[in-house]
């Protein structure tokens, strides 16, 4: 512990013994540092906030969605582009000293680093612009920062609210030219199609390609076959039902005669068959023989053996209707089959004509689709242009205009001045201590004893005369004055900094 105390005391003595060196180094470092700090220009920052409202009732009603939000995002991203920054430079005092493209390029690069645009909320934008030039006064730098922010707002308003009427008109003109060209091509293709149909009326039927017509006819033929089979089955069922229905109903009593007996015998035979008895069953054979005998007897009676059966007449009308249906389906099937046969034959005999028809139809369909798509796009573009021109959905409002900076944002000059003062004092102390370490002197007897390895018997203190003491006091006063002067310079620099800031305000 004593060694540490002795070393500390020795270091303090070494510094104090060379206090003039420490003061000189402190003055040199402080003056140089303060000069560097003074050369750093003050940077002033101006902020502004703008509000952009995007609601559009007319777009919601018409269903045409405008591109305002997308345009605002695009302007937000391109507002700090080189072209817009050059506009800012030429519209502010920054461009007064720029004479060649290289200077403009450097100014654009420097200004791009000092501008920041942020979207704080969905429709709220904050523009921040800072500027600092050592060749200009602080008041001028503050005004330029405000002018930069105002110019950015003007560009934002111009890009969003001036409208894109010229661009919309150019787009509509281009769409009209494309529509006129497509219309001519469509008319030419239609004339070719009509000429081909006039020359080949058989192939032109239906307005479709032969392959499509063949597939359609085959599908139709399959449907007709299914309907014809169903109609024939219904007709066969009707014939069976009609065969089992008597044409005359037997009359009660002897007026019925042989026809009445025949009807009863036929009814019994039908009942036996309904029970599932085969034709070889004795009862069925007996009933069948009886029916045969009664038929001969009824034929001998003439037409007065019973009354007409109304069910039989109704079944005959239904049978006639179903026969007509079968005949109509058969005729339709024959017509379709004939047309299918002709088209199939033409497909093999005239492949060039069929290929030409397919090419003409394909070209016409493609041109028609393109024309319809362009027409729809043109109408949508025209309606969108009317919505954006006559009912501008963007509501622009400057919430906070560009502020006038009152104090610089950088550098923190008072803190830098104080830091230079501390650094200068530290450099002076370090310099005097380093010089003391380089010289072979000993501040204490213990240090001398450790260095020499021999016992030290004692130390002789210095004896100073009265004149020497007076000289020491005088030099000490000079040292205190020099130290106070260094502090005074620091205070003066702080006062000048505060005064300059007050001049800006």
- Residues 102 and 26 grouped into a single domain: no
- Residues 36 and 52 grouped into a single domain: no
Task: Grade residue 473 by pLDDT with cuts at 50, 70 and 90.
Answer: confident
- Residues 77 and 107 grouped into a single domain: yes
Query: How many domains in the chain?
Result: 2
Q: Is 82 domain-assigned?
A: yes
- Residues 50 and 32 grouped into a single domain: no
CA dist 49 and 127 (Å) reads: 6
Among residues of the chain, what percentage have pLDDT more than 90? 8
Q: Does the structure show a pLDDT above 50 at 282?
A: yes
Q: Which of 334, 367, 400 is the last residue of a domain?
A: 400
Among 20-34, 145-159, 263-277, which is the least confidently predicted range? 263-277
Q: Is 49 domain-assigned?
A: yes
Cβ neighbours of residue 39 closer than 8 Å, sequence gap 6 or more: 134
> Using one digit for the tens of pLDDT, what is the confidence trace for 172-209?
777 788 888 888 888 888 888 777 767 666 555 555 55
DSSP structural state of residue 395: E
Q: What is the dihedral of CA 313, 316, 317, 320, to 10 degrees?
A: -160
- At 247 the three-state DSSP class reads coil
Q: Is 10 domain-assigned?
A: yes
Q: Is 51 domain-assigned?
A: yes
Q: Is 71 domain-assigned?
A: yes
- Residues 59 and 157 grouped into a single domain: yes
CA 290 to chain centre: 94
Asked if residue 34 lies in contact with residue 420, where contact means CB atoms within 8 angstroms, the answer is: yes
In this prediction, residue 347 carries a pLDDT of 58
Asked if residue 432 lies in contact with residue 15, where contact means CB atoms within 8 angstroms, the answer is: yes
Asked if residue 94 lies in contact with residue 104, where contact means CB atoms within 8 angstroms, the answer is: no
Q: Which CATH number do you get for residue 152?
A: 3.30.1890
Q: Is 440 domain-assigned?
A: yes
| Backbone φ/ψ region at 395: left (φ over 0), alpha (ψ -120 to 50), beta | beta
- Residues 7 and 60 grouped into a single domain: no
CA 317 to chain centre: 71
- Residues 34 and 50 grouped into a single domain: no
Task: Grade residue 423 by pLDDT with cuts at 50, 70 and 90.
Answer: very high
Asked if residue 248 lies in contact with residue 307, where contact means CB atoms within 8 angstroms, the answer is: yes
Higher-pLDDT residue of 504 and 427 is 427
Cβ neighbours of residue 408 closer than 8 Å, sequence gap 6 or more: 42, 43, 44, 132, 138, 141, 501, 504
In this prediction, residue 58 carries a pLDDT of 40
- Residues 28 and 111 grouped into a single domain: no
> Using one digit for the tens of pLDDT, what is the confidence trace for 45-89?
888 888 876 554 344 444 444 445 555 566 566 677 888 888 888
Q: Is 441 domain-assigned?
A: yes
Q: Show the 3-state SS of 130-192.
A: EECCCCCCHHHHHHHHHHHHHHHHHHHHHHHHCCCHHHHHHHHHHHHHHHHHHHHHHHHHHHH
Number of neighbouring beta carbons within 10 Å of residue 231: 19
**Domain limits for position 458:** 2-40+411-504
Among residues of the chain, what percentage have pLDDT more than 70? 74
Cβ neighbours of residue 358 closer than 8 Å, sequence gap 6 or more: 209, 210, 211
DSSP structural state of residue 248: E
- Residues 23 and 65 grouped into a single domain: no
- Residues 418 and 443 grouped into a single domain: yes
- Residues 425 and 488 grouped into a single domain: yes
Q: Is the bond leading into 411 cis (omega within 30 degrees of zero)?
A: yes
- Residues 144 and 159 grouped into a single domain: yes
> Using one digit for the tens of pLDDT, what is the confidence trace for 6-42?
667 777 777 787 888 889 999 999 999 999 988 888 8
Nearest to 435 by CA among 15, 7, 43, 5: 15
Q: Which of 400, 432, 454 is the last residue of a domain?
A: 400
CA dist 69 and 200 (Å) reads: 56
């Amino acid at each position: 512990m004593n060694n540490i105390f002795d070393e500390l005391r020795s270091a303090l003595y070494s510094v104090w013994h060379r206090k003039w060196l420490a003061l000189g180094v402190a003055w040199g470092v402080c003056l140089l540092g303060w000069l560097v700090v003074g050369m750093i220009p003050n940077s002033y920052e101006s902020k502004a906030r703008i509000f952009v409202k995007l609601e559009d009732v007319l777009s919601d009603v018409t269903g045409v969605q405008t591109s305002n939000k997308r345009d605002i995002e695009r302007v937000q991203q391109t507002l700090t582009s080189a072209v817009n920054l050059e506009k800012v430079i030429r519209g502010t005092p920054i461009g007064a000293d720029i004479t060649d493209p290289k200077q403009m390029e450097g100014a654009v690069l420097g200004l791009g680093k000092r501008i920041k645009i942020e979207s704080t909320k969905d429709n709220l934008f904050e523009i921040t612009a800072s500027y600092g030039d050592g060749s200009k006064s602080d008041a001028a730098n503050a005004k330029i920062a405000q002018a930069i922010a105002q110019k950015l707002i003007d560009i934002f308003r111009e890009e969003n609210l001036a409208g894109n009427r010229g661009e919309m008109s150019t787009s509509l003109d281009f769409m009209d030219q494309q529509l006129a060209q497509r219309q001519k091509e469509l008319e030419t293709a239609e004339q070719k199609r009509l000429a081909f149909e006039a020359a080949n009326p058989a192939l032109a039927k239906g307005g479709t390609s032969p392959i499509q017509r063949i597939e359609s006819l085959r599908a139709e033929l399959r449907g007709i076959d299914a309907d014809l089979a169903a109609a024939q089955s219904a007709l066969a069922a009707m014939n069976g039902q009609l065969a089992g229905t008597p044409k005359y109903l037997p009359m009660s009593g002897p007026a019925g005669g042989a026809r009445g007996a025949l009807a009863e015998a036929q009814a019994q035979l039908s009942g036996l068959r309904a029970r599932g008895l085969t034709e070889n069953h004795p009862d069925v054979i007996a009933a069948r023989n009886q029916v045969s005998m009664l038929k001969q007897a009824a034929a001998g009676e003439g037409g007065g053996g019973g009354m007409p059966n109304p069910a039989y007449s109704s079944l005959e009308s239904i049978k006639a209707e179903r026969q007509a249906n079968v005949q109509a389906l058969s005729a339709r099937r024959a017509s379709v089959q004939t047309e299918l046969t002709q088209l199939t034959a033409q497909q093999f005999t005239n492949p060039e004509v069929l290929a030409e028809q397919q090419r003409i139809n394909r070209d016409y369909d493609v041109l028609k689709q393109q024309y319809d798509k362009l027409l729809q796009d043109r109408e949508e573009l025209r309606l969108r242009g009317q919505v954006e021109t006559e009912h501008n959905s963007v509501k622009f409002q400057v919430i906070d205009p560009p502020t006038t900076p009152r104090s610089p944002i950088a550098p923190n000059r008072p803190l830098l001045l104080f830091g230079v003062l501390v650094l200068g004092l530290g450099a002076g102390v370090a310099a005097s201590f380093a010089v003391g370490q380089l010289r072979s002197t000993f501040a204490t007897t213990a240090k001398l004893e450790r260095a020499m390895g021999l016992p030290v018997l004692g130390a002789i203190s210095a004896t100073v005369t009265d004149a020497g003491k007076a000289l020491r006091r005088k030099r000490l006063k000079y040292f205190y004055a020099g130290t106070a002067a260094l502090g005074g310079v620091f205070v003066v620099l702080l006062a000048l900094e505060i005064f300059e800031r007050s001049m800006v305000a």
